[in-house]
Amino acid sequence: MRARKLNAKLTVSDDELFEMSSLWPQHTGLARRIWISVNVNQRHSRPQLRVEGPHRKFYPLSLEEPVRFIAGRPAGLSAAQFKDLQRFVTLNREVLLAHWNDEIDSATAIRRLRHI
């Protein structure tokens, strides 16, 4: 039962995917592609981004302290890669939260994000 619930949290609907912007490793300095979104439909109670894992699973990562995975951790993600994710969120928290709260658009967010 728990595995089924976890898998449901790691998938995204077509509507959610439409609302998300992907950021590739060469633009972030991270080992994995991440996805940022605006919480316009109030689907999530906690600000988050998604880390793409194997098999197109999307692992939610909190934008608030402590930066941690909300539902599972991608297979093969090293401790160093997780520290990089934490550093990226800490460095870019203001921009990520402004985007999450629909205060800035995706283009502005992407332009303001700092590479690690």
Q: Which two tokens stand for residue 5?
A: 């619930």
Domain that holds residue 39: 2-112
The pLDDT assigned to 2 comes to 47
CB-based contact 57:10 (threshold 8 Å): yes
Q: Which pLDDT score is estimated for 82?
A: 97
Q: What is the model's pTM?
A: 0.85
Residue 56: predicted pLDDT: 87
pLDDT value for 84: 98
Tally of structural domains, the chain: 1
Mean pLDDT, consecutive 10-residue stretches, the chain (116 aa), reads 52 63 95 89 78 92 96 94 98 97 94 96
Distance CA 109, CA 106 (A): 5
Q: Which two tokens stand for residue 4?
A: 């089924």
Which residues partner with 59 through β-bridges?
51
- Give pLDDT, residue 15: 58
